[in-house]
Amino acid sequence: MLKKRVTINDVYGLSREAVKTSQEAAKISKLALKTSRESFEVGQEILEAIGEFSNKMDGELGVIKSDITHIKATMVTKDYLDHKMAEQKGDLTVLIRKEDSKLKTVVSKLTAKKVFSPTDRAEVFALEPFPETMK
């Protein structure tokens, strides 16, 4: 087996290569560190934007929730509407009966004064909404 003699130039050359490699490794390390810092800063900016968006949405959702609560509080139910409509119908029926009674009173008085004939009276009394047959 042959042994090669290592000269000082060989050691010097290897040393220079090692220094170059070390310098390149340092440059790569600095670049990686810079990239890592930039990535961290971008990540921080993204997190801040998400936080601001979340806060804004929380506020808007709070307003919407408040609006819905107000609508529910002032909204009428079907049962309430049915009850009120029945009351209204009853009130209208009472008013129409009063008017019908007035009309029948006038027709009866005009019939008594011979302005209307008994046939005219029967025709008016037979009209809707509360028809009445002659007795």
The yes-or-no verdict on residue 70 having pLDDT over 70 is yes
* The residue to which tokens 């819905």 are assigned: 68
State how far the Cα of 66 lies from the Cα of 49, in Å rounded to an integer.
Answer: 26
State how far the Cα of 112 lies from the Cα of 105, in Å rounded to an integer.
Answer: 10
pTM for the whole thing?
0.46
Task: Give alpha helix (H) positions in 4-77.
Answer: 8-74
CB 125 within 8 A of CB 104: yes
In tens, the pLDDT along 12-61 reads 888 888 889 999 998 999 999 889 999 999 999 999 999 999 999 988 99
State how far the Cα of 62 lies from the Cα of 39, in Å rounded to an integer.
Answer: 34
